[in-house]
Structure 1
């Protein structure tokens, strides 16, 4: 028998004491298509994110977040292919699914957003809402914004703003920066933003190298690590995720690179194991996730219980389901376009603070945390990741206002 989640266990205990569980009448199930890689090099990250959404859906169902509505996550393996993703979108629509979650790669996110928009224009009786969990090319909530798209994670420019703020505030000795990113729109955006923002913040900082490499195809980063070492870089900024990050940091460790790594996704599944002790006080990550709040710790405990000790390192599923549930309650129905309208300027309290869907562009505004990889000490680092004896220590917390940026979005709303 599968272990119950923390919330389900609590409800079961309450029922045993005579407390009645929520009564569902005329109950409706909202199915959400999860379209991301579940196999290949990026499969481990995709499967962890899938469990994150499934766990959050179970919490929502157990606690009755949406009145008379339950949620079901339906997984689709897109193999990190844009073409496969658009095909799977149509499969989901044919199955009567009106909500889609995707996030692993703007190379997928941009065409998927366009495909959702085409569907809604051509098939107004079968609309879809695309909930973007982590595809963070800024264009998706700027020039290419669409009403049927909501982004939960901060986009590239927001995160690079945080990285540059942190470097200028806390690392005045930074002189030489190396940029290495994946060769698609997201990686290009990271490199562009880093060069522009570093120059503006401190013109004396020199970009000593820049590389773009194929997404999810490199298994040996030794040549890149050698270039970083020979450049004399004291800092590396990278948007790499999944195996592309873990293997990069591992190669840098083996090559004797001593630079600090500022990352978006240092806590992605598999990466902590690969860099291990060598990442101590050298690997940083900025994310909309705070390990230290009581709410997060409760979620972590329930997740570990349910999934056999697996780590809960991302709250995107919780935030996505919570926003969706509150928007359904506000709209009084589950029509995706009515729900999208209800999401505009909607705020919910999450484990790491308030999340607000900005109405102008459907970009969620929220707190972010810069954290460094450190040994567990029972004080500032209480939770290890991937049984490494290491975890994340919060170094700087950013309020939504600190990383909020203007948008060029000209939103076209349904008539």
Structure 2
């Protein structure tokens, strides 16, 4: 066996493997989400390797635990550089995404010919494709305008939107983006924003005072980008107050939310990148379950599609076993189109925001794919095509291209 391994090493020593580093929240408060990202990435890489790998070698994947912090992510980025990683992937936190995209930008400026790509699977802050946009950053998820536009369009068609809306969000970049998107969509949606609030992130234990403010404003729909306990406690307080409103959410499918909210969640809406129920043939969720032991949930669907898009890009390149040219991979990603089960996903060259379908669903009983072991789950209301969900490139994005 030792001789065989040595012979194999000699035979493959001339081929340079593509190295991917997952710099994710694998411990701490965001562990559950970070693990989902990691599982989806590994599923996608396994598919690439099953198809022959890249550059004559299997694609290599290494996990780096950022423990949910930006400074820890910066440390892990330096380790990934030392390990020769070509592509870093991260999703759980816009703050960490902001740190990593800047780390990548600085590294690439200082190390021409040894560039790295950042595949952002979940950082949705507008600034990442705004004043922080850069050529080697690609966002493979939605943003607040895409989600809110989809919610407004689908809920209006379903006569579920009403004429008065309230926005309650967490007081940081993402929450502010959602609030701005709700305001911007008011004219198209035909509603008046009758109240807004930004609150501390995951520090509020009793949302009753906020619900009292919502009740006095008498909205039909409450828009919120809240996640984790801030979403759960807000919905529970609304249910306890007997307030009859429809929630328009972005993260209601986060594991545990449906189980914890119970009947309060019924009838509420979500806009997201993916929903198992929206797949026409169910082929993808069944294949994912066969490989991983579970159906894709929360962030796993769109993260798998990102790796599928990378595979599409790699299929157009041939480095003949020689050095990995990351700039060529980035250029191939720019021109890639991935045919996901929900529709095509492409990359807008001006800011590297993916143009992608957005799924609007609502919580019902007896769903085909129950959530959290309950009898409730998500029913697809509409799949908004990418070209209808996308928004104009932000003026603040002044992307500098290689050799430009």
Short-chain TM bin: 0.7 to 0.9
1:55 maps onto 2:40 in alignment: no
Contact between 1:54 and 1:72, CA under 8 Å: does it hold in 2?
A: no
Residue in 1 that maps onto 2:73: 85
Q: Is the 8 A contact 1:99 1:130 kept in 2?
A: yes
Give 1:94's aligned residue. 82
Residue correspondences, number: 385
Q: 1:306: how far off?
A: 4.9
4+ residue runs over 6 A deviation:
24-27
What's the counterpart of residue 6 of structure 1? none
The aligned counterpart of 2:59 is 71
Distance 1:238 1:129 in 2: 32
Q: Deviations along 1:46-80, whole A, 9 cap, x unmatched?
A: 22222122222223322446463433443333233
Q: Distance in 2 between matches of 1:97 and 1:218?
A: 40
| 5+ residue gaps, structure 1 | 1-23
Is it true that 1:327 corresponds to 2:313 in the alignment? Answer: yes
The answer to whether the Cα contact below 8 Å between 2:152 and 2:189 also exists between their aligned partners in 1 is yes
Query: Secondary structure of the equivalent of 2:307?
Result: helix
Q: Distance in 1 between matches of 2:65 and 2:197?
A: 29
Match of 2:147 among 139, 156, 159: 159
252-261 vs 26-35, which deviates more?
26-35
User: Residue 193 of structure 1: CA displacement?
Assistant: 1.6
What does the per-residue CA deviation read over 1:144-175, in whole Å, with 9 as the maximum and x for residues that have no partner? 32101011112222222222223433337613
> Runs of 5+ in structure 2 lacking a partner?
1-11
The within-5 A match list for 1:140-179 is: 140-171=128-159, 174-179=162-167
| Residues 1:123 and 2:108 aligned together | no
SS at match of 2:76: helix
**SS of 1:412 mapped into structure 2:** coil
Distance 2:26 2:240 in 1: 29
Q: TM-score, normalization: structure 2?
A: 0.86
Rounded Cα–Cα distance in structure 2 between residues aligned with 1:220 and 1:45? 25
Corresponding position of 1:362: 352
TM-score, scaled to structure 1: 0.84
Q: What's 1:246 paired with?
A: 232
Per-residue CA distance 1:377-408 (angstroms, 9 max, x = gap): xxxx3111211111211112211221122213
Match 1:339 to one of 322, 329, 333: 329
- Once the two structures are superposed, the pairs formed by residues 306-325 of structure 1 within 5 Å of their partners are 306-309=291-294, 311-313=296-298, 314-325=300-311
